[in-house]
Structures are given as C-alpha cells and as structure tokens.
C-alpha cells in the first residue's frame, strides 16, 4: 500500500470524522490529514472521496453508514472500484475480511459496553486481522489499555471526544490516534 497506516496515525493522531457536506468543506481547510467519512450514499461517495484525495487527505469510508450500500462483498468491491478510498471502517467482520482481500486498509469499529462485548471484540479482531481498531466510546481509557495489551494492532479512540484533555487522555491510555467530529480539534 502507498502509506504505512501505523506511521500515518502516529504522525497525525487527530482524525477528522465528517458527517455532512458542511464538515467536508471545513475539513478541506483544516490541518487534518486523515478523514473518516461517516455519511454519503452510492451516488455521491465517489465525489466525496475524490474531493478529499485531491486535497491530499487520507480517506476512510465507514461503509456501514453509506446509504444504498449493502454490507456485503459486492458493496466493498463497489467502494473500492468507484470511490477508491485508502480504506474502510466497519463494525461488520465480513466487511473487514472482504476489504482486506481487495487490498483496502481496514479499521474495525468496536463498541465496548461491558466485558462480554470487550471479549467478543477481542476475538473478532484476532480472527479478522484489521489494520487498526476504533474503540467506542473513545473516552474509555481502561478499555483502550486492556484492548491494546491483547490485540496488538493500532487502537483509535472514537466517540465522545470533545476537548484536548479527552485527546490527551485517550493517547495516554494507549490509543495511537483519536477520531472526532469536533472540528475545533482537527487542527491540533
């Protein structure tokens, strides 16, 4: 692949997560190098990705959130061929497997609500081998620390990260980067 994901995350620990066209316009003007696209549909996702890539951004599409796209191998292949992001984000293990097979970077998003969901997440990560894991909520430093010790892939903290202290706490807990929709943090 043209970039080394872990190094890119270390060098750019604040990831812009965009939810609409207004965010798209803001992120283009920001210092954020990595962008998580959390919106779109099969008609506009190619344009969103090309706009970001033209501005030198590294683009990850959260495929579970793209309207009109099924969470199956055909959907992943469609994203690869027509939107051509650097990678995808998904909560679905089948999407991670398929994206790995077609040469996309993969970030598995894991919601940790209790010890059962933590153990399930660990097992899914070990089985599917994503390039990185996004832990939700990102302000859960105990979870990040526990997960980091067991899965040995880069951890991205996401969700409820609203200020610089949240960023620093997540990084101190072992996350390699954070993703946030708080645009005032994109230029940190």
| CA torsion through residues 12, 163, 39, 175, sign | positive
pLDDT for residue 3: 62
What are the 10-residue block averages of pLDDT along the chain, 188 residues in total? 78 96 98 97 98 97 95 93 97 96 96 87 94 86 84 90 92 93 94
Tokens of residue 90, six digits: 């998904």
Pseudo-torsion of CA 4, 188, 55, 69, nearest 10°?
Answer: 70
Compute CA 158 distance to the chain's CA centroid, rounded to the nearest angstrom.
8
**Which element (helix H / strand E) includes 47?**
helix 45-54
* Residue whose tokens read 């526990």: 146
Give the domains, in start order, of the chain with CATH numbers: 5-176 (3.20.20.70)
C-alpha 48/C-alpha 66 separation (Å) is 12
Q: How many residues does the chain have?
A: 188
């Amino acid at each position: 692949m043209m970039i080394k994901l872990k190094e890119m995350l270390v060098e750019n620990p604040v990831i812009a997560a965009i939810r609409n066209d207004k965010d798209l316009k803001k992120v283009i003007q920001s210092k954020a190098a990595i962008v998580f696209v959390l919106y779109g549909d099969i008609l506009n996702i190619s344009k969103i990705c090309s706009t970001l890539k033209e501005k030198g951004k590294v683009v990850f599409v959260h495929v579970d959130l793209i309207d009109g796209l099924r969470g199956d191998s055909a959907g992943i292949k469609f994203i690869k061929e027509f939107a051509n992001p650097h990678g995808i984000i998904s909560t679905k293990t089948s999407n991670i497997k398929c994206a790995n097979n077609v040469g996309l970077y993969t970030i598995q998003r894991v919601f940790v609500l209790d010890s059962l969901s933590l153990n399930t997440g660990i097992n899914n990560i070990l089985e599917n081998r994503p390039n990185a894991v996004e832990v939700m909520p990102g302000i859960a430093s105990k979870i990040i620390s526990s997960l980091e010790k067991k899965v040995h892939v880069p951890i991205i903290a996401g969700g409820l990260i609203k200020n610089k202290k949240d960023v620093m706490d997540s990084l101190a807990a072992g996350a390699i980067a954070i993703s946030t929709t708080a645009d005032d943090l994109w230029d940190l």
